[in-house]
Amino acid sequence: MADHEGYPGPDGGGRGGGEAEPGHDCAVIALETALEGGIGRAVALGRAMLHRAQGARLSDLAAGMVDLVERGLDQREAALRQWAAEAAVRSGCEGGAAAARAARRLAALLSCYGGLRDLWLIDPAGRILARGGGAGGGAAVPPADQPWFVAALAGRAASALAPVAGEDGVLTLPLAAPVWGGDGSVRGGLVAWLDWRGLAGTVVQRARQRRESGASARCLLLDPDWRVMAASDGPAADEIFPLAGVDAAGFYTDDDGVTVGYARGGRGWYGVVAQRPRELMRLAH
């Protein structure tokens, strides 16, 4: 008795079931190759889609950072304009006893409003007529030469484009508003020295805490020339973070594999979030 019955072949003979048809192995190999190629393309497509989604989220986070800082400055500028319109501040431009009363009013405002290091009432020549705090709160720069003070004398509230070192070395951002006289002319400027680290430093740290999964995440604020104004890990002295992107917002991956999301705000400042590849997968959660 035969070990195994064969099926009749085209010539009527029997073919053992253990024998493969000619070309069968080639078809299997071709199918396996096609499946492997399809899986590889699907994996690559999935990775690309995930990378784009994660890059967009980094850009959104960067936009949220710069927006939060700018809204904080807008609120302080609005308050500064109101203070500059007070009678005690306006009369302080006359000097003498009126300036002393203005100084007391500035001190009271300073004690009630957080985030400010000092308030100065300055005449058009740049001389300090009254100040609300003690020495050290403002910056050792000639206000009369600064674009933000020139803008205030022209009747516009303005701020510096980058923080400066205060008299005590602490970073501060000056905001200025015009002080109008009764005749409609600008009699001087009211300058608020903002605690920059208190505002911007807090924002970048909170942004990092929201999304950061390891020490490789960096959240930064840049001025219009890409100088680092605040960083979640502390900026290096005179650090420049050159952006490869030219759009108002976007993301890219640099030569080191770091994905950088960025967004430009209304003042020309940039929010930036830089994340290393090993951290990207965790951002999706």
In whole angstroms, give the CA distance from residue 193 to residue 168. 13
pLDDT for residue 161: 86
Per-residue pLDDT, 14: 45
Residue ranges making up the domain that contains 264: 52-70+198-283
Q: What is the pLDDT of residues 43-71, one digit of tens each?
A: 555 555 665 667 788 999 999 999 999 99
Q: What is the Cα–Cα distance from 42 to 56, expressed in whole angstroms? A: 21
Query: What is the total count of domains within the chain?
Result: 2
Q: Both 246 and 219 in a single domain? A: yes
Q: Same structural domain for residues 80 and 180? A: yes
Confirm whether 24 is domain-assigned. Answer: no
Alpha-carbon gap, residue 6 to 9, rounded angstroms: 9
Query: What per-residue confidence (pLDDT) applies to 106?
Result: 96
**Same structural domain for residues 183 and 216?**
no
pTM exceeding the 0.75 threshold for the entire prediction: no
Longest dimension (CA), the chain: 129
The reply to whether 4 falls in a domain is no
H-helix or E-strand spanning residue 199:
none
Query: Would you call 132 helix, strand, or coil by DSSP?
Result: coil
What CATH number does the domain containing 148 carry?
3.30.450.20
Q: Are residues 147 and 209 in the same domain?
A: no
DSSP SS3 for 191: strand
- Consecutive H or E run containing 104: helix 96-112
20 domain-assigned = no
Tell me, what's the pLDDT at 91? 95
Q: Write the pLDDT tens digit of every residue in 76-109.
A: 999 999 999 999 999 999 999 999 999 999 999 9
Q: How many CA atoms lie within 13 A of 216 on its CB side?
A: 14
Q: Are 226 and 245 in contact (CB under 8 A)?
A: no
133 and 144 share one domain: yes
pLDDT of res. 134: 63
Residue that terminates a domain, selected from 195, 227, 258? 195
Domain boundary (195, 228, 248) is at 195
Which of 179, 195, 211 marks a domain boundary? Answer: 195
Note whether 104 and 82 are same-domain residues.
yes
- Lookup result for tokens 């959240």: 219
CATH of residue 268's domain is 3.30.450
Residues 61 and 120 in one domain: no
Query: Does residue 3 sit within a domain?
Result: no
Shared-domain flag, residues 99 and 166: yes
Low-confidence residues of the chain: pLDDT under 70: 1-53, 134-142, 208-216, 236-237, 277-285
